[in-house]
Amino acid sequence: MRKYRKLLIDIAIVLALTVLLMFPYLTKSFLAIEHDTFFHVSRIEQYARALQHGKILPAIYPYENGGFGYGSPLFYFDIFLLLPAILHNLGLVLVDSYKLTVFLASFFSGITMYMLASKFTSKSSIRLLAVAAYLFSNYHITDIYVRGALGEVFALVGIPLILSGLYEIFETNQKYSLSYLIGLVITVLSHNLSFLLCFILVIIICIIYLPKCSFDRYKLLVSESMLACLLTAFYTFPMIEQLKSQQFYLNYYASSSALENHAMAFWQFFANQTVFGLSGNQYNA
C-alpha cells in the first residue's frame, strides 16, 4: 500500500511539473501563433467536422482550403486528436482543445520518461529529476512555444517507451517487451521524421549490444518491430502509396534546397536558450 501511495505522489509531481511547463498557456485565454499552430488547430477543427459526418478515420478533409480539400490525414495520423475533436464538438473552443492536447501529451511524456528512469534507479528523486529534465528540455519547450510542433510533442511520449523496451530486450530475459511495441506504434503514428531518427538510434544500440547479446534477443527485437509494422500498416502503406504516386512540394523543395543550412549547429544541442526562426547554420551560428 505504501508503495502505491508513493507512486501516486510521484505521478502528482509529474502532473505539477506539467502544469508548470504549460503555465504560459494556462494563464492566457489566447493562443500564440507558432510556426505550425494554424495547421494543427485546423486538424482538430476538420477532424471534429469529420466526426459529425460519421468519419472516424478520414483520409481527406473536404472542407479545408476553401472547400478544395486537404489530404493531411494521409501523412499525419489524427487518432491522437480524437479527444480534443470530440470535446470541440461538445462546445470546447478550439484554442482550449489545442491547449488540452499539448497538456495531455506533455503529461504522458513525463510518465513514460518516469517509466524509463525507473529501469535505472529506484530513487524517486532521480526519476523525477529525469522527468523535469525531459519536460523542460530546450527542444521540448521549443516544440511547444516556438514551433507548435504537435506531432513531435506526441512522439516524445513514445521515445522513452522505445528506450525502455530496448532495455528490457537487451538487459533482461523478458519473453516480450510491450513497452517497445507500444513506443514504436505511438512514434510511427505521431511523427514520421521522429520515427526515422528513432530507427537510426535503435540500429546504433543494436550494434553496441552485438558482442554481448544472444541471437534470441535480436529475434525478439525483429519480431516486435515487424508486429509494429503490421499494426501501423493501415497508415504507413497508404502514405507510401501517395508519396510514390505523384510529386509533392517536399520532392522539389528537398532536391533544390541546402537542407544542412537549416540543421542545428553543434552548440545548440547544449545551449540553454531558445533559438527562434530557422536554426543552425542559417545565421552562421
pLDDT digits (tens, 9 = 90+) for 139-150: 899 889 888 889
Q: What is the pLDDT of residue 103?
A: 96
Cell of 60: 481527406
Q: What is the pLDDT of residue 132?
A: 97
| 267 pLDDT more than 80 | no
pLDDT digits (tens, 9 = 90+) for 238-263: 999 988 888 776 666 556 666 666 66
Contacts of 59 (CB under 8 A, 6+ apart): 71, 73, 74, 238
Higher pLDDT, 270 or 74: 74
Q: Is the dihedral of CA 274, 277, 279, 283 positive or negative?
A: negative
The residues spanned by each domain of the chain are 23-246, 247-285
Smallest CA-to-CA distance from 184 within 144, 150, 226 is with 226
285 — pLDDT class (breaks 50, 70, 90): very low
Contact between 284 and 267 (Cβ < 8 Å): no
Higher pLDDT, 237 or 261: 237
Distance from C-alpha of 133 to C-alpha of 3, rounded to nearest angstrom = 24
Helix (H, G, I), strand (E, B) or coil at 70: strand
Q: Is the dihedral of CA 165, 166, 167, 173 positive or negative?
A: positive
Which amino acid, 231? L
Q: What is the pLDDT of residue 233?
A: 94
Distance from C-alpha of 170 to C-alpha of 157, rounded to nearest angstrom = 21
Average pLDDT over residues 202-216: 88
Q: HSE on the CB side for 26, CA within 13 Å?
A: 10
Average pLDDT over residues 147-159: 93
Cell of 232: 501501423
Average pLDDT over residues 10-26: 94
Q: What is the pLDDT of residue 146?
A: 85
Contact between 174 and 168 (Cβ < 8 Å): yes
